Amino acid sequence: MSEHDYTRAFRLDGRRALVVGAGSGIGRASAWALAAHGATVLCADRDGDAAARTAERGSQDPAGSLEALPLDVLDENALADAAQRLDPVDVLVLTPATNVRKPVLAYTTEEFDRVVSLNLRGTFAAVRAFAPGMATRGRGSIIAFSSIRAVTVEPGQGVYAATKAGVVQLLRAVAAELGPRGVRANAIAPGVVETPLTAQISADREWYEAYANKSALGRWAQPEELAGAVVFLASDASSFVTGALLPVDGGWTAIDGRYTPPL
């Protein structure tokens, strides 16, 4: 019989987690969930006030602790400084993203650069800043948010989808390169989640309901429903999981394009 303590598999006591994009949505829920499992959580966001609100509201949970940190992943000097000041960081969670919903041929170069810069270059820059410390210590978990759009796309989502597919392949390369040094890297692919990023869709009832009906569960997700996947990938419960894309999409990619015939 194994002597492994399964009751502790998801615990994060003694670990420091940096959640980038913790000011709202999935990032905020992730920060609270990690703290609830015992981690010391640095709530980073370009909006320092939003990060502070996350830290303040989450600090009521006595399990872990939360601290606010103004941080812009597009500022590589700030990232380098943070990596040096915050070391050690055991868990890195990357949630920031933006989207411009337009056909590819209608995209401007400025719009393309804006989406690629935050979604893909921002992930690359953060990994480059914090992964070396993990590799030196011989342990660490990097968790980046991709999307169902990494594997299934629709008109108007081309550039966004390209960045989210790029995040998956980037994390897989990191997993391959740093796995021998004890660093794991995985991506989470949410389906439709009610966050500020999807406010445009939520405001259109027909569009909102059409997306809800695309999943097996027939509804949208709330940000806190992504937090369990983050805790899993951050913890020893996923100690043999790396280079993976974990869908948390209510079954969207399993049944996408379904047709229920009149039987």
Q: CB of 194 within 8 A of CB of 221?
A: yes
Pairwise CA distance, residues 22 & 24, whole Å:
6
Of 205, 250, 207, 252, which Cα lies nearest the Cα of 229? 250
Of the residues 6, 160, 208, 211, only one is catalytic, namely 160
Assign 3-state DSSP to the chain and report helix, strand, coil percentages, each to 5. 50, 15, 35
Q: How far apart are CA 95 and CA 189, in angstroms?
A: 11
DSSP label at residue 117: I
Question: Whole-angstrom Cα distance, residue 170 to residue 186?
Answer: 10
Residue 6 a catalytic site member: no
Give the whole-angstrom CA distance, residue 124 versus residue 102. Answer: 25
CB-side exposure of 89: number of CA atoms within 13 Å? 28
Q: Rounded to whole angstroms, how far apart are CA atoms 194 and 78?
A: 30
Please list the active-site residues.
160
